[in-house]
Chain A
């Protein structure tokens, strides 16, 4: 949460995360270049070309990590520490990818009679061919998307674009990934003397990413189905109080599609929207910390009775009226306005 905008709200975890991130990038490039020299049949290996390849391979690897974190965190909360500072990973990915693009453009398209940027799009004119399609343009598409994502990664843009628009924009990571897969298959993996193993390695990475998303999607779908409740007048029977763990929540979905997080804490229950005002994280998977609902993604907090973030923060989510009768929780089907107080129900 942020009351004012700062470039980065540093804390110990972000520093450790970024240290590991930078060390990982340096290690990847160093291993790649060292192995490239050690295994080359010819002593002629070009450091420039090896560096361009290393930067590209590192960016492609980082893109897989970025894409894997989301579904892994959906499958197990143990991966949430990776999600917490993912935007720094995304910005670092853009920097590495841009370095690959800049050095590659200078090396292969520069020093000639054509503007290097123009050359990117015209020096291979075979846009009508599949196997020989200009892989450079596919890389440019991905890089533009990564730039847009990196440039709008700050909460300033998240708030000004709205979480829904921001989220949609950042879902462009999937077209970017598709574009990069083709960029690699038609470029690096198609070079003379290259190995078919390169294609299989790309396919394996693709299968892992797709497999993780399908698995997480199936698991999420099962959880979603279990949350659906029917109306009983204006109220929804949300199940027994006893089955909600202390300081945790049960998620239900109304017939109209509202997702509600019902928290049990300090002898009472309260209900607020399941959707965090920050990045639409699942509040029902959070917990009560210091009397506040705490989002599992980035730790944004809300008073369970009002749906408001504690001062000086100003974020708000919808609240829902709640009752407890005969050991069962009943929640109003219609939400209160964002930040409107709804008295928690005593468990009795």
Chain B
């Protein structure tokens, strides 16, 4: 005879027939919730940006400079392309390039990274050699005046394409670790459409000591300084005393 306990659920006993419909309904609702939540949150992810990080290494021949960060000037059919050089992981290339003097023609293998027409080479774990190639001259420097801009201090490696996205609050810790590791800092502004990026230096053009800016990385900041064009590279010679957060 049926009694009021027929549908009483006990986990280690057989599932009562009267509860099968309830269990099926719970599973269906759960599946629907999983699909909805996964879809919704996935569509809310920040944009990855349009940076590019090559899957395979390439060979580069050019002239090494450290003014103020390790860079390679490469002649590309009569046009000079400037690549910022970094090591793998979150480390700058100073140590890896220590044996080469400024102005040396070198051949190296690395992964090309590029965004907003700014190039970078991440050194591959292969030997670098002096190259028998003509020196690629530094581009003339053009002062584009003093500006005060609002933007974000980023580590160049992540922002140019290694992390996608490589900016914003989520990326702050990574940017800090990168900058402390010697990855050259850049300044990104977002007034209007596409982001604009400049290599960040001290006002006198020297490399920025990481400890001067690391706590401001990834924050929205305002900074004053002089914009200088060096061929395909834009340099922001910043007065770090003017650095302040805007939020």
Contact = CB atoms under 8 A, between A and B. Distances in A.
Contacts, number: 209
A308 B40 CA distance: 50
Contact of A197 (B15, B30, B44): B44
Given A32-B42, A44-B52, A113-B180, A190 B170 contact: yes
B48 A287 contact: no
A111 B12 contact: no
A57 interface: yes
A61 B169 CA distance: 22
B45 interface: yes
A54 B42 contact: yes
B10 A289 contact: yes
A247 B177 contact: no
Q: Which of B8, B23, B47, B165 has the most CB of A within 10 A?
A: B8
A136 B165 CA distance: 18
A262 interface: no
Contact of A112 (B9, B172, B177): B177
Given A20-B27, A42-B50, A108-B173, A14 B37 contact: no
Nearest to B27: A20
A82 interface: yes
Q: Which of B40, B41, B170, B178 has the most CB of A within 10 A?
A: B41
Contacts of B181: 112-113
Contacts of B215: 125-126
Nearest to B178: A112
Interface stretch (A224-232, A234-242, A293-301): A293-301
Contacts of A95: none
Contact of A123 (B8, B23, B168, B177): B177
A223 interface: no
A159 interface: no
B47 A42 contact: yes
Contacts of A192: 46-47, 165, 167-169
B9 A36 contact: no
A13 interface: yes
A132 interface: yes
B8 to A, nearest CB: 5
Interface in A113-141: 113-114, 119-120, 123-126, 131-132, 134-136
Contacts of A44: 48-52, 161, 164
Given A84-B11, A298-B11, A109 B45 contact: no
Given A49-B164, A57-B41, A193 B46 contact: yes
Contacts of A191: 45-46, 165, 168-170
A44 B52 CA distance: 7
A40 B168 contact: no
Interface in B4-50: 4-5, 8-15, 19, 22-23, 26-27, 30-31, 33-35, 37-50
B47 A40 contact: yes
Contacts of A85: 11
Contacts of A291: none
A11 interface: yes
A34 to B, nearest CB: 8
B207 interface: no
Given A61-B34, A113-B177, A39 B42 contact: yes
Interface in A178-224: 186-195, 197-198, 201
A80 interface: yes
Given A81-B19, A246-B3, A57 B38 contact: yes
Interface in B58-84: none
B38 A136 contact: no
Contacts of A198: 41, 44
A296 B9 contact: yes
B34 A123 contact: no
A109 B177 contact: yes
B5 A112 contact: no
A162 interface: no
Contacts of B43: 35, 39
Nearest to B8: A287
A263 B23 CA distance: 28
Q: Which of A82, A136, A194, A201 has the most CB of B within 10 A?
A: A194
Contacts of A126: 215, 219
A112 B90 CA distance: 5
Interface string A134-170: 1110000000000000000000000000000000000
B55 to A, nearest CB: 13
A29 B41 CA distance: 11
A247 B168 contact: no
Interface in B169-202: 169-174, 176-178, 180-181
Nearest to A205: B37
12 contacts: A28-B38, A31-B35, A31-B42, A35-B42, A40-B45, A53-B42, A82-B26, A113-B181, A123-B172, A123-B174, A125-B215, A193-B168
Given A287-B5, A299-B12, 5 more contacts: A11-B12, A36-B42, A111-B90, A135-B170, A201-B41
Q: Give 3 closest A-B pairs by Cβ, nearest first.
A: A123-B173, A112-B177, A192-B168
Interface of B: 3-5, 8-15, 19, 22-23, 26-27, 30-31, 33-35, 37-52, 89-91, 161, 163-165, 167-174, 176-178, 180-181, 215, 219, 247
